[in-house]
Every structure is written in structure tokens, then in C-alpha cells.
A and B are shown apart, each in its own frame.
Chain A
Amino acid sequence: MSVYSKSNSFRGGIHPVEEKQLTENLAFEIMPNPKNILLPLSQHIGKPAIPIVKKGDSVKAGTLVAEQEGFISSPIYSSVSGTVKKISVENNASGFPKEAIIIEAAESNEIELFIPLDLDTVTSQEIRDRVKAAGIVGQGGAAFPTFVKLTPPKDKEIDFVIINGCECEPYLTRDYRLMLERPKELIEGLKLIMKSLGVAKGTIGIEDNKPEAAEILKRNLKNEKNISIEILKTKYPQGAEKMLIKAVTGKEVPPGKLPLDVGIVIQNVGTAIAIFDAVVKGEPEITAALTVSGKGINYPKNLIVRVGTPISDVLDYCGGLKENAVKVVVGGPMMGVAQYDFSAPVMKATSGILILTEEEINSHKETPCLKCGKCIEACPLNLMPTKLARLSQLDKLDDAEQLGITVCMECGTCTFACPANIPLVQWIRLGKQRVLKNQKERISA
């Protein structure tokens, strides 16, 4: 590691208003079960799950309702006990309507669990199988099936596990609260990940705006020689995989490569705790921890809700929207998705629901590019957003490809920084999709 410089940060990035004070001191509340749940078959990256129940079947919380299809996929469990009402195409938070199983909740609250495994004697294979069976997906936003990350190709040697406790998105305090309230489970979860990968060393990366969380974890890590805490600079997007690896180890993941190509596996705080719950308590992934925040909701909260709970139920539970609410976002303010249909459900990887007001959005009128270079200075991947956006606008896709448009991770830093308020990342996103499509066609041709 000597050729790399460790900096506890990365070049570029931005400092959005954090607004974490709205929820950071609120302990998790468990929200009562909703009347209906809606389980999209695709709550993860990869192939949608295949339903194995039909209308009228009765299920318990923890009953398998859809099976994993293929390697990169994830099974789905009912999160309440009740009756399957129908399987139909429904809206979800991604904005693309997909098939979903709708279950009417019963009064009773029966639950079906896996056999709990012993923390000390559990084997690496048992951990992987359990993570796969429990339907755990990455909680960092992308919802990548977790067991795939724990099953690296044989030719890749993994020597380091990083737990992502940055939570660099403004507003969100879910990971922070999890670190405060469940530090032991987080550390045990990390040890399970290390065991399953046969890795000796792990670390937890935390931004320096969360000293209490770092303190609690340090106290709990007194007797752990192989696990360290890394305090990182508070800067968006510190929690992006490439940025986190750079800050913790100094290594740069090359364009088009994955963390495992540099011998590293990253898991989110929420994912590590879900792994602990699945292995030690036998719980499949049927609850989601999330932050409901923003100046447009009456009672901001940190909540534990059943996967499949409609957003409208969550909003009602938090006292409803204020009159000045103008935008409802699932996820963080930098990368989340704006919603128009509140019947869409909370999914496995939903980390927050934000209700924003005009004042928070702070939008200005778009003006011509003044070539100020602020987007270039801010881009953590050293791209030239203003050029890429312009090339995408002009449909000059070959030039855009050459300038690295496919490297963009769509973190939104450029658009945030742009004083001319040009929708840079939006144009880049469009161009990137077309470039990727062209690349596919080239390969198949």
C-alpha cells in the first residue's frame, strides 16, 4: 500500500447543507403494520424474482413469496401475515411500473424465521447461503444482491472489507442512528462478512460530522485488533465506493472496474446489520430502516417499517405533508428519485423519504454556460461535466465516450455546483445511456 497516499478524503466534491439536525437525535420508531403491502418483484439490481404464491394464498411474515431467478437476483419475503390479494403491474419508487405482489395484512402477526445460527461456529459457506436465502441486498442505494459481493470470482483475491458509514447524502440519518443504536450488531455483521470472504482485516469509514457514532464504535472495538475506524472528511460524495476506497486506502479503482478488482469489498452499515439479523436471528429482509425528513413533513422521524409499506402510509404516520411541500423524494436529495404516486412502496434498500420545500431546493433559472470550471473542479472522478453535457446535447456520442462519459457515477455533484444551473448530470445520464446502448450493439454486431 506504500505507493498510494492515504488522505482520508478525495479530490473534488461539494459541501451541501447537511440538514441532519432534523432527525439525528431521534431514535428509531417501529411503525405499525400497514393494511396492505406491495412487494415489487424487482427490488434489486438483476433479474426480477419469480412469484411462487397465487391470489388467495395465506402467508406469514417471513414466508417466501418470490424466488430468486438466476445468479444476480434476490428472493422476496412477505413482511406481514395476511392473504395474497393479487399480482399485477404497479408503480414503484423507481418510476418504472413493474410486477408486484399485493398482500392484505391480517390482524394476527405470525412470523416465520430461519433457524438461527451460532455466531462462533457458523462457517463461511453457511453465511453466504444465509445471506442469499434471506434476500439481503445492498443498503447503500444500488440494491445489489449482497451474496454476489460475498462470492467473488476465484481469480480475485480480496484482502480488505470496508463498512460504509459515511452517509454523505444530506438529510439521511439512518446509518448514523444504526451505528448509535446497534454498534455491536454492526461489528458482528462486519466480522461475519470478513469470515465469509476469508479476510483478516476490516475497517469502518465514518465522516467527521458523526463523532458520537465513531466514539461508540471505538468503545465497542476495544478488543478487536483487526477492525479499525477511519474518520474521513465530511464531503459529498465521500460514501461513493470509489471515493471511500481512495480515502481509506489511497487506491484508485480504474474506470470500468469494481472494488473487488483492487481487493476490496464494501458493505453499507445497514447491510452489515441485516447480515447479522439474518444469520443470528434468522430474519429474512422484511423490514427497512429509513429516515423521513425535510422541511415539508410535519414530524420528521427515523423509522423501521415493513418492506412493501406504501409511501402514503409512511407520510401519514409522520403527520402528513405541510402546505409548502413541493417535492417528495425517495432516497437522498443528491441521488434520490422524485415521486408522483404515493402508492409506491418502501423497498428493501429504501434509505429515506424526503419532503422538500421550495426553499430547500433552491433552484435558479438556467443560464448559458460561463465556462467557470466549477463542475470540473467539483467532479470527484475528474471528468469534464460541462463538455460531456454539451456533447450529449449535440448527440456527439463518440466524442463523449472518448472523454469518459461512461465513467460518470451520476452523483450530481456537477449540477449542484453549477452557478448557471445547467442540468449537467441529467444530460450526461442521457448521453451515457445512449453510449452504453451503442457499445452493446457494437459487441453484438
Chain B
Amino acid sequence: MSTITANPVYKLELTSSPHVHSRWSTKQAMWMVVLALLPALISSVIFFGFYQLLVVSVSVASAVVTESLIKYIRKREITITDGSGIITGMLLGLILPPNFNLFFTALGSIVAIGIGKEIFGGLGYNIFNPALVGRAFLQAAFPVQMTTWIKPNMAVDSVSTATPLSAFKFDSIFADISNMFIGNIGGSLGETSAISILIGGIFLIVIGVVNWRIPVSMFLGVIIFGGLFWLLNADQYPSPVFHMLAGGFLFGAFFMATDWVTSPLTAKGMWIFGFGISLVVVMIRLFGGLPEGVMYAILFMNAFVPLINRYTRPRIFGEAK
């Protein structure tokens, strides 16, 4: 931006049009996401206790420190205030099981930022969702700790329990839908309470930070693919509502799949992306070896984003249809 003195009194800016800008900046959008994650954070404290706040804090702190350190080594500007490192830390913390080891948490967060984001050049250049990269690493490195769930509701002693998905997978038991809606079930910190995820997610859609097409296409996808099997045999396969409320589906639909950097650019691409995630989720849950598949489904579809962008170029205005 060059400023030159046109008049002794005024220093005028000379940039080319447009001369006005929308109120949004990257930074503001990022802080809005942080704000939208607060209900999920609060519900995790309500259901699993104050220790979980420590888990999320360690995750955030490790993310920010790792990011700054790498930026420092690479002699780049340190950008803590853009909020992106904080978001990755929060997201990772919220998809960990309750009472998770703090050292492992920090390790996961370092991998999320280091391998998930900075190795590609930092914010804007990564292919995979950094928080999910961190979780995938932890899942591989500490499979037992990553699948040890406790009963919610301020249990003094940590009584271990099953998640609705593992109960379905291994014991063919369907959890109570209303408990799943408020979050009174076993599961990862921020993923259990549907209501608190919906509050944050709908807020982000209303203010325009999250594109509605991705969550909506994921819901439609799960209704179609999950519903198909449910209609075939309701005793063996869970309903689409169960699919939506169980595991990381809602959290993934509003906060993970909608990550700007790792989701498609075009409207058509977003539909393909959302449907693809739901298809993979349903397949893993019903036929895979794992009870839960949202993380792998999103990472899997992340890899297709460049291809999706390439083949969903919008029809230029006036071009033949």
C-alpha cells in the first residue's frame, strides 16, 4: 500500500479498486469458531468433570507453542493471534476420550500442528484436517487409551463404559436417543452432546463462517445411506438418527468437515464431499472393523479435495449449459 503526499495536509492511500471491504477477516472468523466451540467445551466439563478443561488447555498450549516454534525456526512471522493454532488445539482436545493422559495429549497436538499443518507450509496449505491428523496418530500410537470411555455425569470413580457405537458394534445394543441428544453417553469430550454442537454449528452457519452445504449434504447422505440399511433390517442396522447423534458425526459435520482449508471450493464440490463422507462413515460403522469412522471418512475425503475442485469448476456465466 503506497501512501503519497498529494496535499501538504493529507496523506492519501493509492490502491486500486475496490476501496471497501467486508467486515470479515480471517482472524475474526477464527475467533468466531473458538466461540462456537465453547458450548461443547462446557458440556464436556458438565458430563466428565473439570479435568477435561486441563486436557483441552494442554492441547491448545502445545499447539500454539509448536506452531510458534516452527514459525520461528522457519523465520516466519509468528501468528498466534490469527487463532488457527488455538482452534486446532481445541478441536483435538474435544475429540479425545475423557481423562486422557496429558503427556499423550501434548504429543497429539504437536503432531497435529507439525505434521498436520506446518509441514505443508502452514495455515492455508495443508491437505488434511490437522486436528484429525493428531487424533489418527494417537489412535495408532495409544489404541487402548484412545478407546477407554468413562460413564458421564460426574462419576467420582471413573466407571468405564461403552460408547453407543461400540455397544452397537460389539453387543448390538442401541443407546437411548434422548440421552444421546443431551450428551449423557460415553464418548469423546466434545462429541457427546448433540445440543451443544448444534448451538455452535448453527451459530457458525448463520453468521456465514461455515458453509451450510457441507453439514446438510452429510445429513442427507447419512439419511440416504444409513436409512437404506435401516429399512432393509431395522433390528440389525441402526436408524439414520442414531448415525447422526452417535460418535463424532455431528461434531465432524459442523467443525471438522467444514474446515475451510481442507474442504472443496465449489458448491457442487461441497455436496460431493459431504455425501462422500457420509457414505464412508456408514460403511465403516456397519461393515468395518472399527466402531467409529468419522475421523477416517473425513481424512479420506480430504485427500480427494484437489480432485473434486478440479472437476467441479462452475459453468461460467453465459457459457452453454
Contact = CB atoms under 8 A, between A and B. Distances in A.
Interface of A: 14, 16-17, 170, 242, 246, 252-255, 257, 321, 323, 325-329, 331, 333-342, 354, 356, 360-365, 367-373, 376-377, 380-384, 386-387, 403-404, 407, 410, 412, 415-417, 419-421, 423, 425-426, 429
Contacts of B260: 370-373
A340 B20 contact: no
B232 interface: no
Contact of A16 (B11, B20, B24, B123): B20
A366 B151 CA distance: 47
Nearest to A414: B18
B265 A412 contact: no
A412 B17 contact: yes
A334 B123 contact: no
Contacts of B13: 326-327, 338, 361
A170 B18 CA distance: 11
Interface in B5-36: 6-7, 9-29
Given A253-B318, A342-B7, A335 B26 contact: no
B4 interface: yes
Contact of A373 (B21, B82, B266): B266
Contact of B12 (A340, A412, A419): A340
Nearest to B11: A326
Closest 8 CB pairs of A and B: A412-B18, A368-B124, A372-B260, A364-B25, A254-B318, A382-B314, A381-B317, A373-B265
Given A367-B26, A370-B26, A384 B319 contact: no
Contacts of A252: 317-318
B20 A335 contact: no
Given A242-B318, A255-B316, A376-B266, A333 B18 contact: yes
B6 A341 contact: yes
B18 A242 contact: no
Contacts of A410: 17
Nearest to A320: B9
A115 B112 CA distance: 79
A339 B15 CA distance: 9
Given A255-B319, A376-B265, A336 B124 contact: no
Contacts of B9: 321, 323
Interface string B257-273: 00011111111001000
B211 interface: yes
Contacts of B316: 255, 381-383, 404, 407
Given A340-B6, A371-B262, 11 more contacts: A255-B319, A327-B12, A331-B17, A361-B19, A370-B124, A371-B265, A384-B266, A386-B265, A407-B318, A412-B17, A423-B16
21 contacts: A16-B20, A17-B20, A246-B317, A328-B6, A329-B17, A334-B18, A335-B18, A338-B12, A338-B13, A340-B14, A361-B21, A367-B123, A367-B124, A370-B261, A373-B264, A373-B266, A376-B314, A386-B265, A403-B313, A420-B25, A420-B124
B319 A327 contact: no
A323 to B, nearest CB: 8
B122 interface: yes
Interface string B188-207: 00000000000000000000
Interface of B: 1, 4, 6-7, 9-29, 79, 82, 122-125, 211, 260-267, 270, 313-320
Contacts of A425: 17-18
Contacts of A373: 211, 260, 264-267, 270
A7 B25 CA distance: 31
A16 B19 CA distance: 11
A419 B19 contact: no
A380 B314 contact: no
A354 B9 CA distance: 18
A371 B124 contact: yes
A419 B25 contact: yes
B313 A384 contact: yes
Contacts of A363: 1, 21
Most buried by A among B23, B260, B261, B263: B260
A429 B16 contact: yes
B19 A356 contact: yes
Contacts of B124: 367-371, 420
Nearest to B316: A404
A294 B10 CA distance: 16
Contacts of A416: 18, 20-22
A242 B316 CA distance: 12
A334 B17 CA distance: 6
A20 to B, nearest CB: 13
A379 to B, nearest CB: 8
Contacts of A361: 13, 19-21
A294 to B, nearest CB: 10
B10 A321 contact: yes
Given A369-B124, A373-B264, A419-B25, A382 B18 contact: no
B25 A257 contact: no
A370 B123 contact: yes
A368 B22 contact: no
- The interface centre, meaning the residue of A253, A341, A364, A373 with most chain B CB atoms within 10 A of its CB, is A373
A323 B4 CA distance: 16
Contact of B18 (A377, A403, A415): A415
B10 A333 contact: no
A351 to B, nearest CB: 14
A377 B267 contact: yes
Contacts of A334: 17-20
Contacts of B1: 363
A416 B20 CA distance: 7
A419 B24 contact: yes
Contact of B19 (A329, A340, A377): A329
Contacts of A341: 6
Nearest to B16: A426
Contacts of A383: 314, 316
A14 B24 CA distance: 13
A415 B21 contact: yes
Contacts of B314: 376, 382-384
Contacts of A407: 316-318
B318 A255 contact: yes
Contacts of A365: 25
A325 B10 contact: yes
Given A368-B125, A381-B316, A421 B11 contact: no
Contacts of B320: 254
A384 B25 contact: no
A345 to B, nearest CB: 16
Contacts of B267: 373, 376-377
Nearest to A373: B265
A132 B263 CA distance: 54
